[in-house]
Structure 1
Amino acid sequence: MSEVLGKVLVVDDDEVIRQLIAVNLNLEGFEVATATDGQDCLDRVREVMPDVITLDVMMPYLDGWTTAEKLRTDEDTSHIKVVLITARAQDDDKRRGRGIGVDAYLTKPFDPAELIEVVRDLAARDQVRDQR
């Protein structure tokens, strides 16, 4: 059994996209949990304690912007790396993401290889922080 590269919580209301991301990350060696929307993410994050969260922006109940803001303002989750994945590719959207403090921003349709590279890089940075 190979070493787990890190834990990822995949959050997307579209089951096909959620499973696509989860399968790709799992095949790459990540331990993956999923959530169906922002509220589900907030409900599960302490149980999972992921290194990285991939977060869709446009979701019912609680959108990705609000979810990311809540993650950043909570002492227990503020250190978790967040990758926003969205069809919204305007400069204003990217600025808003940076303002919230997200770690990466990918636009749909995304290249699964690019997503894996971004998540791997963020998880590795988290592990370096943990070793200090």
Structure 2
Amino acid sequence: MTKVLVVDDEPNIVLSLEFLMQQAGFEVMTAEDGETALTRVAETRPDLVLLDISLPGIGGFDVLERLRADPDLARLPVIMLTAHGREVEREKGLALGADDYVTKPFSTRELVERVKALLGEAGQEGAS
């Protein structure tokens, strides 16, 4: 089963994203901060990460930079989530290697479509 890691420090968002991704047929793991996110990625090797920018401790941009700096994780699809729709943040996220960028509040259907599109483009062989 395809694994999605949801990283956000707001419990309500984590719960709704977890439910949404499970309904879409994904196995879901969660992390509430950047440190935990990096640990989960190392332990479970998710197929995609939904990553909030504003996190306690290590922020989303730093998590993204660390993932991209690791040759084994450099191609891991990452969708940045933010409550701030500022163009400068979007550009920074994409410049650091984010695959997509979604502003909260987001359309649940659109988010699922973006996740599925990225996983399809990432060439997930054998994913069921």
What TM-score does the superposition give when structure 2 sets the normalisation length?
0.93
Contact kept in structure 2, 1:8 and 1:53, CA below 8 Å: yes
CA distance in 2, matches of 1:22, 1:37: 16
- Where 1:50 maps in the other structure, the secondary structure is coil
In the TM superposition, structure 1's runs of 4+ consecutive aligned residues that sit over 6 Å from their partners are none
Match of 1:117 in 2: 113
* Match runs of 1:46-65 below 5 Å: 46-65=42-61
From 39, 44, 49, the counterpart of 2:40: 44
Structure in which a larger fraction of residues adopt helix: 1
CA deviation after TM superposition for structure 1 residue 125, in Å: 1.7
Question: Which consecutive residues of structure 1, in runs of 5 or more, have no partner in the other structure?
Answer: none
Question: Which consecutive residues of structure 2, in runs of 5 or more, have no partner in the other structure?
Answer: none
CA distance in 2, matches of 1:88, 1:8: 23
- Provide the identity percentage: 37
Match of 2:72 in 1: 76
Match of 2:11 in 1: 15
CA deviation after TM superposition for structure 1 residue 98, in Å: 1.2
CA deviation after TM superposition for structure 1 residue 129, in Å: 5.8
